[in-house]
Amino acid sequence: MPVDTAFWAVITASCLACLVTTIGIFVISRYEKWGTEHSAYFMSFAAGVLVSVSFMHIIPKSFEMNDRAPVFLLLGFLAIYLTNRFLNMYICHEFECADYAIGVVPMLAIGFHSFIDGVIYSVTFNVSVLTGVLAAIGMVLHELPEGIVAFVLLERAGFSRRRSAVYAFLAAAVSTPLGTLVSYPFINRIKQTTLGLWLAISAGALVYVGASHLLPAVEREDKRYSILALAAGVLVALGIVLSER
């Protein structure tokens, strides 16, 4: 595959992912009242997607690529937990702005994962166009809920609607093409084993976000049909996994 063709294919795929995420952020921020009333359902749905994709696809894939992936999976989980503790204890002083951690920590995890997505685009499209397209189909599917949940959590944490939209855009949308641009010049040097470690860290972070942030928040809301939203997220995750096979 010619270098120029591969580069533009990668950029197109990552920009498409960025666009899908941006659409999700725009819709949820444009219809604020509706979004606030149904935020528990969005969080429940996103938890189903993030946790299920992590357990059914990202974690097994990372284990296949590197035998040390389980250690880095734990490191990813603990890193986000410790970041959360650090924000509460030393930045927010527990009582002044404790709720900010509810938005900031998931934003960091989602941003990191989206950045890795950009790297994955570089890797798969340099294998072949078909491999890249198949990977992109599944990955783009989960971009929409990532943008929505980043915005909802930031707003609920106390950020203004405008700041929530901007921060969600930077973390969940822009980070994907950024990951592509940063990784592409070094793509021939990125080993599968190294990518497996980064995938494991990403999965650990996403599991923490889903299990420790999203699901407890949904339980506090106690919405009647939140379990159905969770089930829908799991089904979407299943569709993502099957589309990549």
Taking 90 as the threshold, does the pLDDT of residue 6 lie above it?
Answer: no
What's the pLDDT score for residue 141?
Answer: 58
pLDDT band of 120, cuts 50, 70, 90: confident
Of 39, 34, 27, 28, nearest to 157 by C-alpha is 39
What's the pLDDT score for residue 231?
Answer: 92
Burial class (CB in 10 A: 0-12, 13-18, 19+), 16: middle
Q: Which residue has the higher pLDDT, 182 or 103?
A: 182
- Inter-CA distances, 184 with 97, 124, 190, Å: 39, 11, 10
For 181-225, the pLDDT digits (tens) are: 998 888 777 788 887 888 888 788 878 878 887 788 778 777 888
Q: What are phi and psi of 84, to 5 degrees?
A: -60, -45
Tokens of 107: 């934003």
Taking 80 as the threshold, does the pLDDT of residue 103 lie above it?
Answer: no
The span from the CA of 164 to the CA of 25, in Å, is: 9
Name the DSSP class of 172: I
The span from the CA of 241 to the CA of 227, in Å, is: 21
pLDDT band of 93, cuts 50, 70, 90: very low
What's the pLDDT score for residue 70?
Answer: 95
The span from the CA of 95 to the CA of 27, in Å, is: 32
Give the side-chain half-sphere CA count within 13 A for 112.
20
Tokens of 105: 């920590």
% pLDDT > 90, the chain? 7
What's the pLDDT score for residue 140?
Answer: 66
Least confident of 101-110, 130-139, 168-177, 215-224: 130-139
pLDDT band of 95, cuts 50, 70, 90: very low
